[in-house]
């Protein structure tokens, strides 16, 4: 479905590569078998073609020059965005190095900088590593996925790192919510959370939580969505490893509408614990890194 959206809205939808968009992972964890089951005669051929598509996906994204997006997170080897100019696609991802870290790394409260990952591949990064990365790369937020978090989103490193997970009731085993991130033209963020679709209309079951980007995010003429971008952008894309969507704010027809109740910028909001938070005040995560089921 994501690829169908990309074909239909090529300048509005941007897809980043994750660890499951690698041959070794999707061969072992179900995608290969699914292709064979659904397409008995052409399943293996179709799976092989998918690998070429995955090898062409960007490894990271940059929204408004201030929000760095990658499936896993940051890398100790990433010291300049110019490094992406040397990442030519299509490309395989090795089991070590920069590209590996971008799709496999995780945040950790155990270390301050970087340590080997308990996954057995890539590394984990601590609070100070995120702070140093944001300062060095002149970004204010690292947006990543890769781990199931029960609220659908989770802050880390003084809100400089945000984990998003967009699949509710993951694998049918967990009671987690899902979340997406909406970014306004001023780089003000809203986290929109959702429960599993039980057959009701979206507006009946969607729950909206609004919070602001950490202090220091400068106004910008760019807006975006977590993995997709609203509006009708002109994208600076290339065959290298990073995508920089530049969006036209005059056209917002593609903006997500998870609820019929439009919230004003100064509205108070209600979380599951019934505590109210002001939209202008960043929400502090009480337990910023309690990774759930890993993906």
Q: Which of 72-81, 118-127, 238-247, 278-287 is predicted with the least confidence, judged by mean pLDDT?
A: 278-287
Assess contact for 245 and 222: CB atoms under 8 A.
yes
Cα 266-271-275 angle, rounded to 5 deg? 80
**Best CA proximity match to 160, nearest among 239, 74, 90, 79:** 74
The residue ranking higher by pLDDT, 197 or 200, is: 197
* pLDDT on residue 127: 98
Q: Which of 20, 52, 71, 182 is catalytic?
A: 20
Cis peptide before 54 (omega within 30 of 0): no
In the structure, what pLDDT confidence band is assigned to residue 281 with cuts at 50, 70 and 90?
Answer: very low
Distance of alpha carbon 171 from alpha carbon 196, whole angstroms: 12
**Best CA proximity match to 54, nearest among 32, 23, 80, 75:** 23
Using the predicted structure, report yes or no on whether residue 251 has a pLDDT greater than 50. Answer: no
Q: How far is the CA of 178 from the CAs of 79, 100, 152, 231, in angstroms?
A: 32, 25, 4, 23
The residue ranking higher by pLDDT, 273 or 193, is: 193
User: Tokens for 155?
Assistant: 């802050």
Q: Which of 4-8, 184-188, 283-287 is predicted with the least confidence, judged by mean pLDDT?
A: 283-287
Residues in the chain: 295
Q: What's the whole-number mean pLDDT along residues 56-66? A: 95
pLDDT tens digits for range 40-53: 999 999 999 999 99
Assess contact for 139 and 65: CB atoms under 8 A.
yes
Assess whether 146 carries a catalytic annotation.
no
Distance of alpha carbon 255 from alpha carbon 190, whole angstroms: 12
pLDDT tens digits for range 69-124: 999 999 999 999 999 999 999 999 988 999 999 999 999 999 999 999 999 999 99
pLDDT tens digits for range 133-173: 999 999 999 999 999 999 999 999 999 999 999 988 888 78
- Domains of the chain are 2-18+57-260 (3.60.21.10)
């Amino acid at each position: 479905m994501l690829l169908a959206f990309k074909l239909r809205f090529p300048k509005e939808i941007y897809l980043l590569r994750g660890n499951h968009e690698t041959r070794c992972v999707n061969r072992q964890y179900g995608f290969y078998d699914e292709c064979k089951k659904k397409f008995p005669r052409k399943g293996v051929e179709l799976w092989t073609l998918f690998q070429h598509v995955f090898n062409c996906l960007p490894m990271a994204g940059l929204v408004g020059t201030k929000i760095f997006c990658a499936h896993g997170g940051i890398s100790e080897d990433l010291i300049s965005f110019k490094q992406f100019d040397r990442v030519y696609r299509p490309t395989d991802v090795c089991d070590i190095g920069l590209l590996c870290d971008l799709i496999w790394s995780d945040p950790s409260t155990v270390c301050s900088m970087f340590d080997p990952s308990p996954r057995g591949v890539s590394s984990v990064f601590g609070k100070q590593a995120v702070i140093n990365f944001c300062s060095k790369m002149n970004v204010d937020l690292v947006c990543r996925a890769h781990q199931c978090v029960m609220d659908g989103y989770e802050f880390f490193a003084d809100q400089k790192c945000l984990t998003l997970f967009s699949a509710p009731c993951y694998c049918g085993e967990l009671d987690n919510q899902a979340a997406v991130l909406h970014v306004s033209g001023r780089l003000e963020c809203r986290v929109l959370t959702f429960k599993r679709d039980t057959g009701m209309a979206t507006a009946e079951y969607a729950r909206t939580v609004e919070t602001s980007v950490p202090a220091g995010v400068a106004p910008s003429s760019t807006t975006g969505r977590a993995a997709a971008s609203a509006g009708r952008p002109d994208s600076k894309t290339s065959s290298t490893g990073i995508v920089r969507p530049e969006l036209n704010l005059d056209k917002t027809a593609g903006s997500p509408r998870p609820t019929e109740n439009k919230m004003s910028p100064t509205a108070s909001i209600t979380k599951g614990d019934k505590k109210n938070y002001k939209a202008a005040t960043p929400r502090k995560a009480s337990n910023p890194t309690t990774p759930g089921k890993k993906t």
